[in-house]
Amino acid sequence: MLKVGLTGGIGAGKSEVSRLLVEHGAVLIDADRIAREVVAPGTPGLAAVVEAFGTDVLAPDGSLDRPKLGSIVFTDPDELAVLNSIVHPLVGARSRELETAAAADAVVIDDVPLLAENGLAPLYDLVVVVDARPETQLDRLVRLRGMTEQDARARMAAQATREKRLAIADVVIDNDVPLEELERRVGDVWVDLARRAHQSGKSRNSGRRRGR
């Protein structure tokens, strides 16, 4: 198994890269999706969030009002730290369950938005960073996601700097390019990841045979 940490700034195109890697055969562990699952209605995670931030962060149907919570935490580092202390351990536990179920020669992609911020690079065999210029990120957030420029800039500022992400990268995928070029670049990266995973799987199987 090859354990890969995939990260990138908001609006850099990390989700598109993870989608392409899955098409090639990667096993995806999506921290954002899991983060939504662990605070779904009726979960201990949602109860802990409400205890910390109050019932104002709930929508009328009892689910988490993510835009309301985001408006609180992405402008206050202390509040963001509180939220992370609740959600991250729950996400980590679920991620380990999914990883354990993967095959010995799988490429397991952990899609982790805050990998750099939380110093998680040592947990992975490789770190892949999806990179884009800040102007590109801002344009995508405003034009494609419908954010206000103020909200987009606040969310970008709450993350690690571009330089900090690049400093932990083993592989950088430049996404200031058209989709066709991104697909080609991800394909090239996949060839290398699959080769490494195959070698890792062979080594693991060989070790088990010697141990018998």
Using one digit for the tens of pLDDT, what is the confidence trace for 11-34? 999 999 999 999 999 999 998 899
Percent of the chain at pLDDT > 70 equals: 94
Say if CB 6 and CB 109 are below 8 A apart.
yes
Does domain 2-210 fall under CATH 3.40.50.300? My reply is: yes
Tell whether the model's pLDDT for residue 207 goes beyond 70.
no
Please provide residue 63's backbone torsions phi and psi, each rounded to the nearest 5 degrees. -85, 170
Distance CA 156, CA 152 (A): 6
Provide the pLDDT for residue 75. 85
Give the domain ranges of the chain.
2-210
Distance CA 88, CA 86 (A): 6
Provide the pLDDT for residue 208. 42
Mean pLDDT (the chain) is 91
Identify residue 79 by its one-letter amino acid code: E
For residues 186-197, one letter each, b for 16 or more C-beta atoms within 10 angstroms of the residue's C-beta and e for the rest, the string is: beebbeebbebb
Provide the pLDDT for residue 204. 55
Question: Between helices 44-53 and 77-100, what is the axis angle to 10°?
Answer: 170
Q: What is the largest CA-CA distance in the chain?
A: 61
Provide the pLDDT for residue 69. 95
Cβ atoms < 10 Å from Cβ of 75: 15
Provide the pLDDT for residue 212. 39
25-39, 54-68, 95-109, 196-210: the lowest-pLDDT one: 196-210
pLDDT 10s digits, 153-181? 999 998 999 999 999 999 999 999 999 99
- Single pTM value for the model: 0.74
pLDDT 10s digits, 59-80? 999 999 999 999 999 889 999 9
Question: What is the number of H-type helices and E-type strands within the chain?
Answer: 9, 5
